[in-house]
């Protein structure tokens, strides 16, 4: 009975203290694609991605009812930094759904007018961005005024605050009504209430944000679950590793008896096993703390041992090839930053086409035979191997009718149609391709089937094509696989190499594209197509992640276009639409929603891309 009454009381007090309107809530996932398009259309940085902001304690004063219910302690601030625009996962501040949606639109428009670099006080920067946005887009003025009135009405009145906090609140209201009129907030003992219309400073900007900014420790934000299982973001903080205490009884203290296991490093058999509850536990934590103990963990040793020994490793075809890499922060192309090694799969014995692919391969060959070079007769030619009887009859009739033609085109000429093109398929063979896409197949299995059917289809056309793959482990170990070269016919040896492909490590895409560009640019063809198969965005163990990897890949694609190549990406990453337009353009990629359809979609895409 006590628990039942407590549950009722909790629901009652929480409902009374809540100042949101769940029935009118608008979620970011509902407008995420529109938000990215709008942000770029308003002049925002095309390299930024849109993501959810993390809930954090704001430290501002709350009403007595909220304090009793322990509600309203945390809020998701909208933020922007050099790599990401973070918006609240849900907005339910107003009873009208249209007003909550307008707040999303205003935050996006304000973020487009604000850069991610640290500068002046964050309040001044928010006002400058608001003033610039209203001046550039007058149509937003009525919406902004309505949002200001609604936000001010929902804030705690200055009369209910202490004098120092009341002065800060009056300054915030003045800054909202007249952006640019407040140079700084008056000092107060507690932070002001969260301002829903402003973008708060990121972690890197907090040092220069001023004392009026909400409290936030130096922290980076990390995904809560491995592999992107959760979209929620967490605060993270680095801490020094606790020094282990001596296990001898001379230094034993009774008060440390209950935590004795924390101070003695012992070998535990299950320490490195994945915890199935790790994602749920992390999702419930307010802050994730990361420490270095100066030693290699067993899991790291296991990862390093994933590289096979020289006796069973793939056969290196050439020594290390040094390649440059683009540093987007310094806007500099660093020379000789990456080392790429070409490999061929070891023990790749010739293999026949799998029986399950025989029927679709036969169908594709029949479809692609229509694209094969053929012969056709051209009529009305001044020179040719055979006379054109129709042209001779017309010329004789014209002459008898009194018309004389100065040029007699009365021959048939045989012309051979040629498809002047070359295609290089670059497949992502990273560790993520070991993931399952169904009950019976992994991503790497889908890629194998796609390459085999692609080879069968192009074998019927006679087009020049090559099949390559890549993976990486930091910038000094990029593995590039030569599966099939341009001068090699399709056959059992090629199928055997495709069947021997295995998942590798990470995806340093920029270096692989640069090397593929060098190979493909040597082919003399009117159309040179660089077809990239991927299942995710560029990443690696070192700094090659986030925007660094995306900008380096973008620069490598720009170099490919300057070399006369036509890059095109085929991905099964459902979130690819968030970053692929920045890399390949709006018409330079396609997202395959069902990975199992990739083997049949790939030849069809090739036919469309090369249809001239």
Strands (E), 58-167: 74-76, 79-80, 84-87, 90-91
Read off the pLDDT band of 479 (50, 70, 90).
Answer: very high
Pick the range with the lowest mean pLDDT from 67-81, 88-102, 224-238. Answer: 224-238
Q: Which two tokens stand for residue 482?
A: 């030569």
| Residue entry with tokens 């890629």 | 447
What angle do the packed helices 358-368 and 443-461 form, to 10 degrees? 40
Domains of the chain: which residue ranges? 2-216, 223-270+281-295, 321-368+419-609, 375-416
Is 507 buried (19+), middle (13-18) or exposed (0-12) by CB count in 10 A? buried
Query: What mean pLDDT value characterizes the chain?
Result: 80
Give residue-wise pLDDT tens across range 298-321: 444 334 434 555 555 565 655 689
Q: Which two tokens stand for residue 357?
A: 């692919």
Q: What is the pLDDT at residue 151?
A: 92
Region 282-311: what's the mean pLDDT?
A: 52
Read off the pLDDT band of 202 (50, 70, 90).
Answer: low
Cβ contacts of residue 171 below 8 Å, gap of 6+? 182, 185, 186
Is 594 buried (19+), middle (13-18) or exposed (0-12) by CB count in 10 A? exposed
The CATH number for 321-368+419-609, chosen from 1.10.10.10, 3.90.1150.10, 3.40.50.410, 3.40.1160.10, is 3.40.50.410
The answer to whether residue 15 scores a pLDDT higher than 90 is: no
Cβ contacts of residue 417 below 8 Å, gap of 6+? 373, 374, 375, 376
Read off the pLDDT band of 240 (50, 70, 90).
Answer: low
The answer to whether residue 204 scores a pLDDT higher than 90 is: no
Give residue-wise pLDDT tens across range 87-107: 999 999 999 999 999 999 999
Pick the range with the lowest mean pLDDT from 5-19, 125-139, 175-189, 212-226. Answer: 212-226
The answer to whether residue 144 scores a pLDDT higher than 70 is: yes
The answer to whether residue 434 scores a pLDDT higher than 80 is: yes
Kindly report each contact of residues 165-174 with a partner whose C-beta sits within 8 Å and lies 24 or more positions away, as own/partner: 165/61, 165/189, 165/190, 165/192, 168/192, 168/212, 169/193
Q: What is the pLDDT at residue 120?
A: 56
Q: Output 13 or 140, whichever has higher pLDDT.
A: 140
Cα–Cα distance, 389 to 368 (Å, whole number): 34
Which of the given ranges, 68-77, 316-325, 591-600, has the highest pLDDT on average?
Answer: 591-600
- Strand-pair category, 90-91 with 375-381: unpaired
Give residue-wise pLDDT tens across range 368-394: 877 666 556 677 777 777 887 787 888
Pick the range with the lowest mean pLDDT from 260-269, 343-352, 532-541. Answer: 260-269
């Amino acid at each position: 009975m006590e628990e039942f009454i407590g549950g009722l009381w909790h629901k009652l007090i929480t409902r009374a203290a809540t100042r949101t309107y769940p029935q009118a809530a608008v979620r970011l996932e509902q407008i995420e694609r529109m938000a990215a398009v709008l942000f770029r259309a308003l002049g925002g940085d095309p390299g930024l991605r849109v993501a959810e902001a993390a809930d954090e304690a704001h430290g501002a004063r709350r009403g007595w009812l909220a304090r009793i219910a322990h509600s309203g302690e945390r809020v998701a601030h909208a933020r922007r930094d050099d790599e990401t625009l973070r918006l609240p996962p849900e907005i339910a501040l107003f009873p009208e759904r249209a007003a909550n949606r307008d707040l999303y639109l205003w935050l996006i428009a304000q973020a487009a007018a604000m850069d991610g670099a640290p500068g002046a006080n964050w309040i001044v920067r928010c006002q400058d961005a608001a003033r610039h946005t209203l001046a550039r887009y007058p149509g937003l003025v009525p919406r902004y005024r309505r949002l200001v009135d609604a936000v001010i009405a929902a804030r705690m009145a200055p009369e209910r605050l202490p004098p120092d906090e009341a002065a800060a609140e009056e300054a915030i209201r003045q800054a909202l009504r007249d952006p640019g009129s407040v140079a700084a907030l008056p000092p107060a003992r507690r932070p002001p209430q969260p301002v829903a219309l402003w973008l708060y400073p990121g972690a890197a900007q907090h040092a220069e944000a001023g004392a009026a900014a909400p409290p936030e420790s130096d922290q980076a934000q990390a995904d809560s679950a491995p592999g992107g299982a959760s979209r929620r973001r967490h605060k993270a903080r680095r801490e020094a590793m606790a020094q282990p205490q001596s296990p001898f009884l001379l230094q034993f203290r009774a008060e440390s008896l209950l935590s004795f296991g924390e101070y003695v490093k012992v070998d535990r058999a299950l320490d490195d096993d994945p915890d199935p509850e790790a994602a749920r536990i992390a999702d419930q934590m307010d802050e994730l703390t990361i420490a270095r103990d100066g030693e290699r963990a067993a899991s790291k040793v296991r990862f390093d041992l994933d590289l096979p020994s020289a006796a069973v490793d793939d056969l290196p075809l050439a020594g290390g090839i040094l390649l440059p890499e683009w540093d987007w922060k310094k806007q500099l192309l660093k020379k000789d930053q990456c080392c790429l090694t070409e490999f061929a799969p070891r023990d790749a014995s010739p293999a026949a086409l799998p029986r399950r692919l025989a029927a679709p391969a036969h169908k594709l060959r029949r479809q692609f035979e229509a694209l094969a070079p053929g012969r056709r007769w051209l009529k009305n030619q001044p020179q040719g191997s055979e006379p054109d009887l129709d042209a001779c009859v017309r010329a004789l009739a014209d002459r008898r009718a009194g018309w004389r033609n100065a040029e007699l085109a009365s021959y048939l000429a045989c012309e051979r149609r040629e498809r002047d093109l070359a295609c290089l398929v670059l497949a992502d063979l990273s560790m993520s391709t070991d993931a399952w896409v169904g009950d019976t197949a992994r991503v790497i299995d889908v890629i194998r089937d796609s390459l085999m059917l692609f080879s069968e289809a192009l074998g019927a056309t006679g087009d020049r094509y090559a099949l390559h793959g890549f993976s990486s482990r930091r910038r000094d170990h990029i593995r590039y696989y030569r599966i099939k070269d341009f001068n090699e016919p399709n056959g059992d040896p090629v199928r055997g190499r495709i069947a021997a492909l295995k998942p590798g490590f990470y995806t340093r895409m920029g270096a692989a594209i640069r090397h593929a560009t060098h190979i493909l640019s040597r082919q003399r063809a009117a159309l040179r197509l660089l077809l990239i198969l991927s299942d995710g965005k560029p990443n690696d163990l070192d700094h090659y992640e986030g925007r660094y990897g995306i900008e380096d890949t973008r620069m490598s694609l720009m170099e490919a276009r300057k070399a006369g190549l036509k890059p095109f990406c085929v991905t099964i990453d459902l979130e690819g639409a968030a970053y692929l337009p920045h890399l390949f353009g709006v018409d330079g990629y396609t997202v395959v929603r069902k990975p199992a359809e990739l083997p049949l979609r790939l030849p069809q895409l090739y036919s469309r891309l090369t249809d001239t």
